[in-house]
Amino acid sequence: MLSTEHFYWVLAAFLAYAGWSNLRQRRYAHAAFWSLIAALFAAGDVVLRASKAGDALPAQLAGGAVLALALLATRMRREPLDEAPESERLASALRLGHRLFLPALLIPALTITVVLAGPHLSFGGTPLFAPTGMTLVGLALACVASAIAAIAVTRQPPLRAADEGRRLLDTMGWAALLPLVLATLGGVFAASGVGEAVASLVSMVIPADNRMACLLAFALGMVVFTVIMGNAFAAFPVMMAGIGLPLLVQRHGADPAILGAIGMLTGYCGTLLTPMAANFNIVPAVLLELDDQYGVIRAQAATGLWLMGTNVLLMAWLCFR
């Protein structure tokens, strides 16, 4: 049975290779950073099992490793890494043509296939996919299949894929971890009662009996929290616990599925507006060598604002039907 743990091990192996490659080049901060993350991914099951058994030491060691990552991130510098000459890359692109799109298109196609067909697939009476997290398993499997397809299409040795992946990883640096860290931050905020605090503040500022006022507070809160934290995954549990569930769903009868889906998309309007979403807005500017490091944000700000307004209208129309 395939589960997310299997792909965490694959990811751990890749991160360990990135750490080893940096160690060989005497980039010690990068080597330690990626090696620590590899160890955390590989030991995740061990930490969880120990915590359930009442042994807090592995979790404490993992927490110490996270603190070490924060210190190492300050020592990481983006340095140019060797890649194929531009003439060679252009010749390869002209030779391969539209076949280059095949590996990229495989990712959404296989992910959707696993989500739709996965629950019905079995081997020897055992389900092929774990029932929980099937979307994530499908995405991970699609990424592995896409990497294999890229190797086949380009006729490059398999190690080239790992080398190019490592080069992009080092180009992004610590920003590659932002989605994971910020999503975790949202869970921490929700567990620490930030959502309840937001609910009490909103109740004092806006009329809680007015569903449109609550809806506007929810939408604007999703955008503002996303701008602050850089990721809608971090904003969602806070705003859903503070405004979405107690006020919109329970008091005004909003459809939770529609509210959650469009509410998350509304949060991503904030992603388009903030440099905190470094992997979306700052890293591309670095990779493309733009003169204006905020050029990506300036180009998409109008889209984010128009989309936010559209989402508010859609929620007002669909959530209370």
pLDDT, tens digit, 9 for 90 and up, residues 217-274? 999 989 988 888 777 877 888 888 888 888 899 999 999 999 999 999 999 999 999 8
Range with lowest mean pLDDT among 138-147, 188-197, 215-224, 247-256 = 188-197
Q: State the Cα–Cα distance between residues 58 and 38, nearest whole angstrom.
A: 15
Q: What is the pLDDT of residue 82?
A: 66
One-letter identity of residue 50:
A
**Total residue length of the chain:** 321
**Which position has the higher pLDDT, 94 or 315?**
315
pTM of the model: 0.71
Cα gap 28→20, rounded to integer Å: 10
Q: What is the mean pLDDT of residues 193-214?
A: 78
Eight-class DSSP state of 292: -
CB 185 within 8 A of CB 191: no
Nearest one of 230, 239, 295 to 268, comparing CA atoms: 230
Residue 288 has a pLDDT of 73
Per-residue pLDDT at 88: 74
What pLDDT is stored for residue 80 in this prediction?
Answer: 62
Across residues 97-125, what is the average pLDDT?
Answer: 86
Nearest to 271 by CA among 316, 308, 216, 319: 308
Q: What is the mean pLDDT of the chain?
A: 85
pLDDT value for 177:
81
Sign of the C-alpha dihedral computed for residues 73, 45, 118 and 232 taken in this order? negative
pLDDT at 29 over 80: yes
Q: What is the pLDDT of residue 84?
A: 67
- Average pLDDT of span 304-312: 93
Check whether 13 has a pLDDT greater than 80: yes
pLDDT in tens, 65-100: 989 998 998 888 766 666 667 777 777 778 878 888
d(CA 24, CA 26): 5
Percentages of the chain per state (helix, strand, coil), in multiples of 5: 80, 0, 20
Distance CA 41, CA 39 (A): 6
- Are 171 and 287 in contact, with CB atoms under 8 Å apart? yes
Classify strands 126-127 and 122-123 as parallel, antiparallel or unpaired. Answer: antiparallel
Look at residue 117 and tell me whether its pLDDT is greater than 80. yes
Q: What is the DSSP letter of 174?
A: G
Identify whether the C-beta of residue 206 lies closer than 8 Å to the C-beta of residue 198: no
Confidence of residue 195 (pLDDT cuts 50, 70, 90): low
The CA distance from 235 to 152, in Å, is 40
